[in-house]
C-alpha cells in the first residue's frame, strides 16, 4: 500500500498495490504493521456498508464525540463518491479545514480518517456502495454532525443534493454551537 499525506494533519489517502496475473489481481487493503509504522490506529472493531440508489445522495458530516471517537478506513466498492473530511480538533493546525477526495470502484483508493474529523460523502453515480472499517463501536449518545451546507465550512459539492436524511439537515450550524466540537 502507498500512503499519501493529505493537506489535513493525520489523514491519509491510501493506494492499493495490486499484484496481478491472468486471473486478475490481489492487493492488501489493510496491514497492521504498515499502519503502526505511521502511528495509525488499526484496531478496527466494526465494518459498515452503505448503499445509495441515487446519484447525488449525501451522507454526513458525521462524527462521534469523545470518548467514542473513531478512526475510519473508507473505500468505495461500487460506483463513485466524493468523500469530504473536516478537521474539528480544536488544537490542530488544520482546524476547520476540509478536503475532498474522489473514491471509486475503479481507482480503488482508500481514505484513512482519524478521530476528530467530521466525515461525509456524496454519490457521483447511481447504485454506489461504500464500505468502511471503524475503530469504535457506534455509540448513539455520542453521535453528532455538521451541516453539509454550512457556509462557514465553504464546501463546494460537485452535484446538487438529490437525497439527504432529515437528521443531516438538522445539525446545528457552526455559528450556533458553543465550545469545542471535539
At 104, list the grid cell: 471509486
Active site residue 112: no
Query: Is 62 marked active-site?
Result: yes
CA-closest candidate to residue 144, choices 170, 166, 165:
170
CA–chain centroid gap for 179, Å, is: 24
Q: Count other Cβ atoms within 10 Å, centred on residue 150.
A: 17
Catalytic residue among 12, 62, 98, 148: 62
Q: Which of 12, 98, 112, 132 is catalytic?
A: 132
List, in order, residues 6 or more apart from 49 with CB less than 8 Å away. Answer: 77, 129, 130, 131
Q: Using the structure block, give the residue that is written with the C-alpha cell 463501536.
A: 137
Q: Give me the active site residues, please.
A: 62, 132
Amino acid at each position: 500500500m502507498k500512503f499519501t499525506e493529505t493537506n489535513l494533519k493525520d489523514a491519509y489517502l491510501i493506494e492499493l498495490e495490486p499484484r496481478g496475473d491472468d486471473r486478475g489481481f490481489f492487493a492488501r487493503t489493510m496491514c497492521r504493521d504498515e499502519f503502526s509504522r505511521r502511528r495509525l490506529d488499526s484496531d478496527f472493531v466494526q465494518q459498515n456498508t452503505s448503499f445509495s440508489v441515487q446519484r447525488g445522495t449525501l451522507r454526513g458530516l458525521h462524527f462521534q464525540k469523545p470518548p467514542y471517537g473513531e478512526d475510519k478506513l473508507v473505500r468505495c466498492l461500487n460506483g463513485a463518491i466524493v468523500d469530504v473530511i473536516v478537521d474539528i480538533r480544536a488544537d490542530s493546525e488544520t482546524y476547520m479545514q476540509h478536503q475532498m477526495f474522489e473514491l471509486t470502484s475503479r481507482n480503488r483508493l482508500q481514505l484513512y480518517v482519524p478521530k476528530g474529523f467530521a466525515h461525509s460523502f456524496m454519490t457521483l453515480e447511481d447504485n454506489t456502495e461504500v464500505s468502511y472499517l471503524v475503530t469504535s463501536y457506534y455509540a448513539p449518545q455520542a453521535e453528532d454532525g455538521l451541516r453539509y451546507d454550512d457556509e462557514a465550512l465553504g464546501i463546494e459539492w460537485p452535484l446538487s443534493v438529490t437525497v439527504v436524511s432529515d437528521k443531516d439537515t438538522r445539525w446545528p450550524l457552526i455559528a450556533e454551537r458553543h465550545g469545542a466540537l471535539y
